Amino acid sequence: MTFSFLRISGSPMIFLGVALMTGCGIYKFNGASINPEAKTVNVKLITSKAPLAPPTLGENLTEVLRNKITSQSRLVQVNSDSADYVFNGYVSGYDITNAAVINVEQAAALRLTITVTMDFKSRLSPKDNFNQPFSRFEDFSASQSITQVQDQLITQINKDISDDIFNRAFVNW
């Protein structure tokens, strides 16, 4: 059984559907809803207040977040507090804890947890402003030292935290 009323030459209907969904500038296929009037973003350098954090952690996270925002939106990174969106944050936690133990005295797995406190300001929609911590972790074998796995763990955690920050700011979860 076919539905002939739906066959209005498929290609124009697909084009029309895509044009309607993206034409207003608010909906994007990545789920982000960014005000169509917004043009600029300022992701300020993320500093570190966590005593054990590597010195480049904040810089690396800043770059990951900037790249996420500029690649997933039409926003342009600027260095101005008058940007449409401003992200200002700091690493507030960098902790290594036991994730699993074999017995009372021996850990089987360790966990690296990084917490970033982010302050987000929207010049166009102040009701969307927030200040909140974002925390992610990765486990690693206790047979490895943190120096052996730190770069790999930080890369993954930075990606996850930047996804969380992006989603909180632009996907409204």
Per-residue pLDDT reduced to its tens digit, 93-133: 999 998 887 777 778 899 999 999 999 999 999 999 999 99
Angle at 31 between CA 30 and CA 32, to 5 degrees: 95
Angle at 164 between CA 160 and CA 168, to 5 degrees: 170
DSSP E strands in 104-129: the ranges are: 106-122
- Judge whether 91 lies within some domain: yes
Residue 9 in this model has a pLDDT that exceeds 80:
no
Residue type, 61: L
- Judge whether 18 lies within some domain: no
- Judge whether 8 lies within some domain: no
The pTM score is 0.80
Residue 22 in this model has a pLDDT that exceeds 90:
no
Q: Where are the alpha helices (DSSP H) in the chain?
A: 10-23, 57-72, 146-166
What size, in residues, is the chain? 173
- Judge whether 7 lies within some domain: no
The closest of 101, 85, 65, 94 to 154, measured between CA atoms, is: 94
- Judge whether 22 lies within some domain: no
What residues make up the domain containing 96?
Answer: 38-171
